Structure 1
Amino acid sequence: MRARAHSVLAASVVLTLAAGPLAAPAFASSSGTAVGTTATATTTEHTADGPDGDALRAALDVVPDEHATAALVRVGGTDGGWRGSAGVRDLASGRPAHPNALFRAGSTTKVVTAATVLRLAAEGEVDLDAPVQHYLPDLFTPAFEKPISVRQLLNHTSGIKAGDALGDDFAELYAHRFDTLTPQQVAASAIAKGPEFDPGKQQHYLNINYTVLGLLIEKVTGRPYASEATRLVLRPAGLRHTYFPGTAPRIRGPHNRGYQAVQRPDGTTRLLDVTEWNHADRWAAGDMISTTADLERLITALFRGRIVPGPQLEEMFTLPPGLPKATMSAGLQVQKVGGKEFWLKTGSRYGYNTAVGATRDLSRTLVYSVNATDAKSEAPNPVIGGIIEAAVK
């Protein structure tokens, strides 16, 4: 199922193709001057608790650095708003980052997928308590004898194991970045491994849950996932630039290029351009391309009940019962940030880290896209940490 290129060979390909300059000298414009921060503040009548523009500007002033080549931030809500950008559009030219750039939104796609399923539930097309085996009988093997509800897919308590990918590490994945692994192949590989645990007994965040939900959407509606997500969520939310690229590796429209730090044998680092990539296997779990303005529109329309009706919308603010450590609901995660309770979703693709979130009352919203140089790392990115800290002051 998974293409198995030899890791050593793949690594040598990465190092051979790594044409980007060393991180340190790259972070200047073509004229030799530093690349600064552009910011716009918007306010409402209630500004006392609004975003701290000085702190946000300071958080972006460090970009570009070794952790990020560009950053876009949009803070909004009823308490006031602020938006800004910093860094470079690409290392070769050093042009300032495009403030309205499109980017790979990663797992924030799951917000759209969850909303699509919940819309179908509101319309009586999907029963959240029904077994997914009922909707997709040909996908599951007898090993999945215990029913998995649609709701358990939404909140990551299904017990389905992760599906295959096109590699086990960055070098291998990069070598196959233009190859196509279909969602159907990913789902079949996951089911072939058998269940990880009984449904509802644990919460394990995995893309496979939303890959299966994408298949469910197509089976129930008889139409492609992208078409239904656009019809039921993107269009009603007023998203003007968001789309699903499918197997197309390029970002359509203005964008800031993404880079991955790759270590040479001598211990020095080059930044490898990873902007162009076929992420079709991420599909309903993470293949959306968007903008900060569109993601702000999405979270605002969603939380105001304009996309999903009230009874179904509650699923996005409800954690699975009996699991005290659970933090994931349908499409979102709850987190305490600066004393505020945020419902949010993060996402990462090589070269791009993204997040969209808000307090439930929409007093504060936050969207960022950071062109991180190690976007899949589990270590905290100080640029992102600085943005979050400033955004919730």
Structure 2
Amino acid sequence: MTKTPYAAPATARPARWTTLVLTGAALASVTVGAVLPASAAEPHAAPVTGTVRGHHPVDTAALTALMEPGPMASGTLVRVGGTGPTWTRATGPLSQDPAANFRIGSITKLFTSTLVLQLVGEDRFTLATPVQELLPGTLPAHWKPITVGQLLSHTSGIQEPCVAFGPGEAPTPAQVVAHWTDPRCAAPRYPVRAQQYNGVNHFLLGMVVEKVTGRSYADEVQRRIARPLGLRHTYSPKPGDRSVPGPVLADGDEIEPWAWAEGGMVSNAPDLERFMTHLMRGRLLRPAQQRELFAMPALSEGAVDRFSAGGLLRSEIDGTVVWGKTGSMGRSTSGVFATEGGRRTVVYSLLPASRDRELTRRHLMSLVGAAL
């Protein structure tokens, strides 16, 4: 029996906070500028020290100094929110509009995972359902069953493709999956012994969403998440659409091929903060699926990037557990993270100036140390 789709009411209010995260190949940067009213930006106002209920004071002066253009980043945008004041600031060649739009890259995966967990909550399928049952003929017949839950938690065992698409190509989801399952490439490794981050997992999940609902992925994002939450700047572009409506965070980015349910969405910092707050507070999922959102699979132990059963990236900074997702598109690296219950949130977008990931990590830790 199909249950009524569950989504947060449009009138629900968001929450906000502070911090930063870096994981694996993607980086997270936290920063803060002056206290801002919700409707206006004052990027050059004098930094202040503020508090967010239940946490240490936030040293915005130190954070502001750390996010100035330099050897680690040529520009940084940070929006900090939570149960207390909100801060936002942009430096370098970035729009000074705190609500500027940008391509969110793999943060898109959080939206895809949310749609899938909503469908699980509606009894459309379970986390144990093999994707081969939902998408017959999509994966090679000789492959062992791969479940929806394995796709969400990056434990599918699917390997990286051995051939590449040409520059500027915008393949369909089916073409992407066929590319990953090319018989010339390595088959999944069994048994799966660890999490392995892989974009094709969310291409398959996006295809599951479309097959089960009978609607496009873009429509389901709007119907189930964006419209109920009032996310007016959040959407999945049409194939081949590489435009970003103004104001745009950073001009001149070389936009990569359309990445759809894996990494193709457009949003802005206020929308991402609102989405993450509602997700963390259980306003988008039913209780059973909310628990899956934070359950850590045994295979996540020892992984560089640890993902929950519901697809959330888990990290620990100075004893504080944060949840979220990073993403890259063109020159920029972005992320959204929150503490338990959405008491604090941070959205960032960074233009990296260094290719040294360890230096970037240390830079991040300095930012986090000033924020906590």
Length-normalised TM-score, structure 2: 0.78
- Equivalent residue, structure 2, for 1:118: 117
Q: Does 1:56 align with 2:63?
A: yes
Corresponding letter in the other structure for 1:71: T
Q: Indicate if the aligned counterparts of 1:316 and 1:332 stay in contact, CA closer than 8 A.
A: yes
**Distance change (3 Å), C-alpha of 1:45 and 1:332:** closer
Cα drift, residue 102 of structure 1: 0.9
Distance 2:217 2:48 in 1: 37
Distance 1:297 1:140 in 2: 36
Distance 2:124 2:145 in 1: 19
- Name the SS of the counterpart of 2:293 in structure 1: helix
Distance 1:384 1:56 in 2: 11
**Distance change (3 Å), C-alpha of 1:248 and 1:337:** same
- Equivalent residue, structure 2, for 1:186: 176
Q: Does 1:205 align with 2:165?
A: no
Distance 2:339 2:113 in 1: 18
Unaligned runs of 5+ in 1: 1-35, 90-95, 168-172, 259-272
Cα drift, residue 194 of structure 1: 5.0
- Equivalent residue, structure 1, for 2:277: 300
- Equivalent residue, structure 1, for 2:148: 150
Q: Indicate if the aligned counterparts of 1:111 and 1:345 stay in contact, CA closer than 8 A.
A: yes
**Distance change (3 Å), C-alpha of 1:387 and 1:166:** farther
1:255 to 248, 252, 269: 248
Cα drift, residue 373 of structure 1: 4.6
Deviates more, 1:238-247 or 1:102-111: 238-247
Aligned residues: 324
Q: Indicate if the aligned counterparts of 2:232 and 2:271 stay in contact, CA closer than 8 A.
A: yes
Distance 1:180 1:311 in 2: 37
Unaligned runs of 5+ in 2: 1-42
**Distance change (3 Å), C-alpha of 1:339 and 1:37:** farther
Q: Indicate if the aligned counterparts of 1:39 and 1:85 stay in contact, CA closer than 8 A.
A: no
**Distance change (3 Å), C-alpha of 1:66 and 1:127:** same
Corresponding letter in the other structure for 1:303: M
Distance 2:103 2:120 in 1: 28
Within-5 A mapping of 1:62-211? 62-63=68-69, 65-89=70-94, 97-144=96-143, 146-163=144-161, 166=164, 176-177=167-168, 179-192=169-182, 193-198=185-190, 200-211=192-203
Cα drift, residue 334 of structure 1: 0.9
Distance 1:297 1:391 in 2: 24
**Distance change (3 Å), C-alpha of 1:241 and 1:127:** same
- Name the SS of the counterpart of 1:361 in structure 2: helix
- Name the SS of the counterpart of 1:138 in structure 2: coil
- Name the SS of the counterpart of 1:108 in structure 2: helix
Length-normalised TM-score, structure 1: 0.74
Q: Indicate if the aligned counterparts of 2:77 and 2:91 stay in contact, CA closer than 8 A.
A: yes
Q: Does 1:287 align with 2:287?
A: no
Q: Does 1:231 align with 2:211?
A: no
Q: Does 1:277 align with 2:270?
A: no
Distance 2:243 2:77 in 1: 20
- Name the SS of the counterpart of 2:123 in structure 1: coil
Cα drift, residue 292 of structure 1: 1.0
Cα drift, residue 361 of structure 1: 2.7
Q: Indicate if the aligned counterparts of 2:75 and 2:351 stay in contact, CA closer than 8 A.
A: yes
Corresponding letter in the other structure for 2:243: R
User: What is the root-mean-square deviation of aligned Cα atoms in Å?
Assistant: 2.8
Cα drift, residue 257 of structure 1: 2.5
Cα drift, residue 335 of structure 1: 0.7
Q: Indicate if the aligned counterparts of 1:117 and 1:126 stay in contact, CA closer than 8 A.
A: no
1:331 to 308, 311, 328: 311
- Equivalent residue, structure 2, for 1:11: none
Cα drift, residue 201 of structure 1: 3.1
Cα drift, residue 133 of structure 1: 0.6
Relative contact order (alpha carbons < 8 A, sep ≥ 6): 1 or 2 greater?
2
- Name the SS of the counterpart of 1:75 in structure 2: strand
Deviates more, 1:193-202 or 1:50-59: 193-202
Cα drift, residue 136 of structure 1: 0.7
Moved over 6 A (4+): 39-45
Distance 1:220 1:42 in 2: 49
2:327 to 341, 347, 359: 347
Between the two proteins, what is the percent identity of the paired residues?
36
**Distance change (3 Å), C-alpha of 1:82 and 1:241:** same
Cα drift, residue 235 of structure 1: 2.2
- Name the SS of the counterpart of 1:147 in structure 2: coil
Distance 1:47 1:359 in 2: 11
- Per-residue CA distance 1:77-135 (angstroms, 9 max, x = gap): 2254322121224xxxxxx6433211111111111000000011111112211111100
**Distance change (3 Å), C-alpha of 1:103 and 1:38:** farther
Bigger radius of gyration among the two:
1
